[in-house]
């Protein structure tokens, strides 16, 4: 299932049916595993996964301001995927790196000492990369 998650960034129902048949494991067991572990998603996720730490240390250092700016400037909301399918923003409670908070994890890469300006620049850069150099002004 990890390979499916990596390929699609989520677990489509058809893929879980295939895994069930291939492993000869009943579908309810497959879905139990898929819903138990947070790494798996049963809903489509964006091409780029952004995780913003909202733990105490990150929160007091401005994580809420960063979340608000990402919502205002780019339409990013916790637990949602943008309409263009590029971004999913996830809230995490602690990443265990409080000394460099606030932390934004971008596609698995930790970005410490985050600010609203740095988050905005990261999102704009990713948008430009996806559009071949255009569209980074949203």
Domains for the chain: give ranges and CATH numbers: 2-36 (no CATH), 48-130 (3.40.30.10)
Q: Report the pLDDT value the prediction gives residue 136, as an integer from 0 to 100.
A: 47
Q: State pLDDT tens for residues 43-81.
A: 889 999 999 999 999 999 999 999 999 999 999 999 999
Write out residues in the chain with pLDDT < 70, as ranges.
134-138
Residue 69 phi/psi, 5-degree rounding, is: -65, -40
Q: Report the pLDDT value the prediction gives residue 67, as an integer from 0 to 100.
A: 98
Q: Report the pLDDT value the prediction gives residue 134, as an integer from 0 to 100.
A: 56
Yes or no: say if 7 and 16 are a contact pair by the CB < 8 Å rule: no
Q: Report the pLDDT value the prediction gives residue 6, as an integer from 0 to 100.
A: 85
């Amino acid at each position: 299932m990890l390979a499916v998650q990596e390929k699609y960034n989520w677990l489509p129902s058809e893929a879980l049916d295939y895994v069930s048949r291939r492993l000869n494991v009943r579908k309810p067991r497959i879905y139990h595993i898929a819903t138990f572990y947070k790494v798996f998603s049963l809903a489509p996720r964006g091409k780029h996964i952004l995780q913003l730490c909202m733990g105490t240390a990150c929160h007091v250092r401005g994580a809420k301001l960063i979340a608000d700016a990402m919502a205002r400037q780019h339409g990013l909301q916790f637990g949602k995927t943008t309409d263009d399918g590029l971004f999913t923003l996830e809230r995490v409670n602690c990443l265990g790196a409080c000394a460099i908070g606030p932390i934004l994890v971008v596609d698995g890469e930790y970005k410490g000492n985050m600010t609203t300006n740095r988050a905005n620049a990261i999102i704009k850069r990713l948008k430009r990369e996806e559009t071949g150099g255009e569209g980074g002004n949203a």
